[in-house]
C-alpha cells in the first residue's frame, strides 16, 4: 500500500520533469545550442543533488499551509496535482506544479476541516507574483550588462559560440540544482508528515534522513519525466513566446536560476538571518513563471516587439486555473477515496480546552473567564473549535490562534528507546535531556516544550531579537522534527 500511495508522488515528479524542468534548458535547446540528450542528463543529475541536499527548506512552508497526515490523503492530493499538470502539458502549456500542489492541499484542508494557514498562503501567493517580476528584472539587468561588455570586447564569432554554449551548460546545471532544491517540495512535500521511511546511516560516513529518501525517489521520477516527455514543452518555451538568440537564451537561464535559488536555498536564508538581514521566504516557486518572466524581460529590453501575446494569454489562463482545478479535483477525489474505497485520508486531530490549557492561557495573559462554557469540551477538528471560539466574540485573532494552538491534542510519548530519533541533529546536552524524560507522555506539544526548557537552557527559545533569530529558527526546527517523528511512530 505504501508503494501504491507513493506512486502519485512519482507521477507528479514525472509530470514536473515533463513540464517544469524543460524550462531549465528550453531556451538552450530551442536555440539549438545544446542537444536535448545532453541537457536531459545534466538536468537529471543536478535536480537530484539539489533535492537531496537542500530540498527540505521549501517543504516546511507547504507543511505550514496544510500538514497532510495520512498516506491516502497525500496520494489523492498529489494525484490531483499530477492530473492537472499532465492535462496542461497535453495542451503544451508550461503550467506551475507549485500552484497545482497548493490547490490540492487547500482542497484537502476544506475536506478534512484542518486549518489553512492564510499567512503561509499569502506568502506563497506573493512569491507567485514576485517570481516572474524578479526574473524579468534580472533579465533586464543582465541583458544590459552583456550588451555593454560585448560592445567593449571584441570576440570572434566561433569563440563567442563556444563561450555561450559553456555558459548555457553551467547556468543550466545551476538552474537544475535550484529547481531540485525548490520544487521537490511540490513532488514529495505532502508525504513528509506521513513518511514511511526511517533515517539510515553508515557510521559517521553517510546519513540519509527519511525525508531525503523521499526526495531522492521523487527526483529520480523527475529525471524520468525529463527524458520521456519534456521535449514538447521545450518547443513552447524555447520558440513560441519570443524568438531568442543564443546570448539571450543564456540570460534567460541565469535569471530563472537565480530566482529559484533565492526562494529555495536554506544556506542563503541562514546566511541572511545570521547577519541580521531580512530572510527570503523558502517557498516552492514556479520555474515556468520564472522562465517566462525572464523572456519577457528580454523582450522589454528590446523594445517589447515580437512578443506573442496570444501565447502569453494562454499561459496566464493556465496559471490562474491550475490551483482552482486541482483543489476541486482533490476535494471530490478525497470523498471517493474515503467513502467508496474505505481509505483513511486523514488522521483526526482533536482539540480540548482542559484545565491544563486554561492554566497555560492564564499565564499567557489571555482572559480565561470567557472560556468557561468551552472548558473541558472536546472538538473533533480545527474548524469546530475555531467556530466555537469565534462565537464568543471577545478574543483578538492572535489570541484565538494561541487558544487553538494550545488546545491541540497530540499525546506525544517519548519512547523508551530513542533510536527513532536521529541523535546527530541535537547537541549533547539536548539529547541527554531527552533521555531523562524517556517513557513520559505529554498530551500537548507545549507541555513537552515547557518540560525540556525547564531542565536546560539549550531547549529554551530566546528573546525575539535579530541576534537570536537563527538560533530560535534552528531550535524550532528541532522541536518540529521531534513532533513529526513521534507522531509517525504512533
Q: pLDDT per residue over 393-443, tens digit each?
A: 999 999 999 999 999 999 899 988 888 888 888 999 999 999 999 999 999
pLDDT band at 88 (very low <50, low <70, confident <90, very high): confident
Distance (Å) of CA 291 to CA 91, 127, 186, 224: 18, 14, 18, 21
Q: Are residues 76 and 212 in the same domain?
A: yes
- Sign of the CA dihedral running 232, 236, 239, 245: negative
Residue 192 placed within a domain: yes
Residues 255 and 370 in one domain: no
Answer for the pair 49, 123: CB distance below 8 angstroms, yes or no. no
Q: Residue 200: its pLDDT value, please?
A: 78
Q: Are residues 379 and 438 in the same domain?
A: no
149-197 pLDDT, tens digit per residue, is 988 888 888 888 899 889 989 999 999 999 999 889 889 988 887 777 8
Summarize pLDDT for 352-393 with one digit per residue, the tens: 999 999 999 999 999 898 898 898 889 999 999 999 999 999
Q: Give me the chain's average pLDDT, please.
A: 87
Confidence band (pLDDT; 50, 70, 90) for 344? very high
Lowest mean pLDDT across 70-79, 234-243, 370-379, 397-406: 234-243
Q: What is the band of 292 on the pLDDT scale with cuts at 50, 70, 90? A: confident
Does residue 320 sit within a domain? Answer: yes
> Do 399 and 429 belong to one domain?
no
The C-alpha atoms of residue 218 and residue 269 are separated, in whole angstroms, by 24
346 in any annotated domain: no
**Sign of the alpha-carbon torsion through 78, 81, 10, 316:** negative
- Same domain membership, residue 268 and residue 234: yes
Chain center to CA of 391: 34
Q: Given 339, 359, 381, which residue is the final one in a domain?
A: 339
Same domain, 82 and 155: yes
Q: 55 and 159 in one domain?
A: yes
Co-location of 418 and 386 in the same domain: no
| Res. 323 pLDDT band, cuts 50 70 90 | very high
Number of domains in the chain: 3
Which run of H or E residues covers position 206? strand 206-208
**What is the residue range of 365's domain?**
351-407
- Domain match, 192 and 298 both: yes
Give the domain-ending residue among 314, 339, 364: 339
> b/e per residue, 229-238, with b = 16+ CB within 10 A?
bbbebbebbb
Amino acid at each position: 500500500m505504501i508503494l501504491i500511495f507513493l506512486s502519485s508522488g512519482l507521477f507528479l515528479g514525472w509530470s514536473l520533469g515533463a513540464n517544469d524542468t524543460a524550462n531549465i534548458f528550453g531556451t538552450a535547446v530551442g536555440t539549438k545550442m545544446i542537444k536535448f540528450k545532453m541537457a536531459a542528463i545534466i538536468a537529471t543529475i543536478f535536480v537530484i543533488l539539489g533535492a537531496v541536499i537542500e530540498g527540505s527548506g521549501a517543504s516546511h512552508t507547504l507543511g505550514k499551509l496544510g500538514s497532510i497526515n495520512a498516506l491516502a490523503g497525500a496520494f489523492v492530493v498529489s494525484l490531483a496535482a499530477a492530473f492537472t499538470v499532465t492535462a496542461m502539458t497535453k495542451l503544451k502549456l508550461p503550467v506551475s506544479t507549485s500552484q497545482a500542489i497548493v490547490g490540492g492541499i487547500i482542497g484537502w484542508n476544506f475536506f478534512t476541516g484542518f486549518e489553512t494557514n492564510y499567512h503561509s498562503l499569502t506568502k506563497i501567493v506573493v512569491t507567485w507574483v514576485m517570481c516572474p517580476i524578479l526574473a524579468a528584472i534580472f533579465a533586464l539587468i543582465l541583458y544590459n550588462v552583456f550588451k555593454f561588455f560585448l560592445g567593449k570586447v571584441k570576440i570572434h564569432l566561433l569563440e563567442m559560440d563556444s563561450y555561450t554554449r559553456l555558459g548555457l551548460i553551467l547556468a543550466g546545471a545551476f538552474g537544475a540544482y535550484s529547481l531540485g532544491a525548490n520544487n521537490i517540495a511540490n513532488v514529495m512535500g505532502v508525504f513528509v508528515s506521513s513518511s514511511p521511511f526511517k533515517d539510515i546511516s553508515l557510521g559517521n560516513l553517510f546519513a540519509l534522513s527519511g525525508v531525503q529518501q523521499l526526495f531522492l525517489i521523487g527526483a529520480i521520477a523527475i529525471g524520468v519525466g525529463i527524458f520521456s516527455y519534456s521535449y514538447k514543452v521545450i518547443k513552447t518555451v524555447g520558440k513560441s513566446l519570443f524568438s531568442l538568440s543564443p546570448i539571450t537564451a543564456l540570460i534567460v537561464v541565469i535569471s530563472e536560476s537565480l530566482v529559484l535559488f533565492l526562494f529555495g536555498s536554506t544556506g542563503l536564508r541562514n546566511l541572511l538571518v545570521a547577519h541580521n538581514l531580512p530572510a527570503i521566504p523558502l517557498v516552492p516557486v514556479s520555474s515556468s513563471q520564472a522562465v517566462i518572466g525572464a523572456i519577457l524581460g528580454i523582450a522589454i529590453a528590446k523594445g517589447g516587439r515580437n512578443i506573442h501575446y496570444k501565447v502569453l494569454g494562454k499561459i496566464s489562463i493556465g496559471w490562474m486555473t491550475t490551483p482552482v482545478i486541482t483543489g476541486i479535483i482533490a476535494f471530490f477525489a478525497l470523498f471517493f477515496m474515503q467513502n467508496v474505497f474505505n481509505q483513511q485520508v486523514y488522521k483526526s486531530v482533536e482539540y480540548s480546552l482542559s484545565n491544563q490549557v486554561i492554566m497555560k492561557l492564564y499565564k499567557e495573559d489571555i482572559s480565561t473567564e470567557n472560556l468557561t462554557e468551552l472548558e473541558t469540551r472536546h472538538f473533533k477538528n480545527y474548524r469546530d473549535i475555531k467556530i466555537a471560539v469565534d462565537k464568543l466574540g471577545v478574543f483578538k485573532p492572535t489570541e484565538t490562534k494561541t487558544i487553538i494552538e494550545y488546545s491541540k491534542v497530540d499525546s506525544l510519548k517519548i519512547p523508551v528507546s530513542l533510536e527513532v530519533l536521529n541523535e546527530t541533529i541535537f547537541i549533547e546536552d539536548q539529547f541527554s535531556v531527552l533521555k531523562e524524560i524517556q517513557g513520559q507522555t505529554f498530551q500537548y506539544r507545549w507541555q513537552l516544550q515547557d518540560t525540556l526548557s525547564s531542565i536546560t537552557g539549550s531547549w529554551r527559545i530566546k528573546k525575539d531579537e535579530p541576534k537570536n533569530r537563527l538560533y530560535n529558527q534552528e531550535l524550532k526546527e528541532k522541536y518540529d522534527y521531534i513532533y513529526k517523528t513521534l507522531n509517525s511512530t504512533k
